[in-house]
Amino acid sequence: MKKIFLTIFVLVVSLQLSAQSKTGTIDTEFVLSKMPELTKVQEDLKAYNKKLEDELKVKVEGYQAKVKDYQDNVASFTEPMKKTKQEEILAMESDIAKFRQNGSQLVQLEQNKLLQPLYTKIGKALEEIAKAESYTQVFTITSSGLAYIDPNYDLTRKVMTKLGIKIEEGK
């Protein structure tokens, strides 16, 4: 009798444990690429990039003017004036080099800032679907390295529908 009870108990517990865990997947990059708000983000990022390019152009033009002035008037400068002008030119070169190095990082930071609200929106829609359908875990397809994904548990389409994004057939 104890063996039968123990067997039934183990069976019930194992069924409950397997019923408690439901795993799904989502392709957040695909959802993001279909969001209409992405166009605005891309435009804003392009404008930010143009602003940085314009700043760099001003710095380079200032540098070139300073070098030309130095070359045109070097004969009339005293040694201390030459040294001061050379230091100014070297400082400007250094400033331009730093600005170029930091430019890509600044663009990346701006991109992250602009995309964060979209990822938050995707996350909230995903959270609502996951709670409503009792998912305990959802993996991101693009960064999870999953070897197999059952399409029945992919929440990408549901999140897109919840966000009002039109789903093209064949995707």
Amino acid type, 31:
V
d(CA 58, CA 92): 11
Strand-pairing partners, residue 128, are none
87 token code pair: 């230091």
* pTM, 2 dp: 0.68
Q: What would the pLDDT profile of 127-163 be if each residue is shown by its tens digit?
A: 889 889 888 888 888 776 654 566 777 888 889 999 9
> Which band of pLDDT confidence, cut at 50, 70 and 90, is reported for residue 6?
very low
d(CA 90, CA 55): 18
Q: Residues near 163 by Cβ (< 8 Å), separated by ≥ 6?
A: 31, 35, 121, 122, 125
Q: What would the pLDDT profile of 43-100 be if each residue is shown by its tens digit?
A: 999 999 999 999 999 999 999 999 999 999 888 989 999 999 999 999 999 999 999 9
User: 22-162 falls under which CATH superfamily?
Assistant: Skp domain (3.30.910.20)
In the prediction, which pLDDT does 53 show? 94
